[in-house]
Amino acid sequence: MPIKKAKRYSQAEKNVIEVDEPQVIRYYNMGGVDRTDQNISYYRISIRSKKWWVPFFMFMPDVAIQNAWLLYRNSAGHKNRSLDLLAFQREVVNVYRLKFSAAARNAPGIGRPLTAGRQRKEKVPKAVRQDEQGDKCRITDYGKLKNKMLDLQNQKYVRQENVGENEDKMSLKKVLVDLMFKYFDSDNSGLVDSNELSQVIKQEGLAKDLSECTLFDLLKYDDYNGDKHLSKEEFYKAFVVKLI
Distances (CA, A) of 120 to 97, 110, 114, 115, 212: 20, 19, 9, 10, 27
Neighbour tally for 231: CB within 10 Å: 18
Listing DSSP states for 95-144 in one string gives HHHHHHSHHHHTSTTSSPPP-GGGPPPPSS-HHHHB-TT--B--HHHHHH
Instruction: Calculate the CA 41 to chain-centre distance.
Output: 33
Handedness of CA 141, 146, 149, 155 (dihedral sign): negative
At 42, the pLDDT band (50, 70, 90 cuts) reads confident
At 159, the pLDDT band (50, 70, 90 cuts) reads low
Domain spanning 126-238, CATH architecture: Orthogonal Bundle (1.10)
Q: Which residues, 6+ apart, have CB-to-CB distance to 95 below 8 Å?
A: none
Q: Are 161 and 233 in contact (CB under 8 A)?
A: no
Q: Where are the domains of the chain?
A: 46-113, 126-238
At 57, the pLDDT band (50, 70, 90 cuts) reads confident
pLDDT surpassing 60 at residue 11: yes
For the chain, what is the total number of helices (H) and then of strands (E)?
11, 2
What is the C-alpha radius of gyration for the chain, rounded to an integer number of angstroms?
A: 37
Q: What pLDDT is stored for residue 207 in this prediction? A: 62
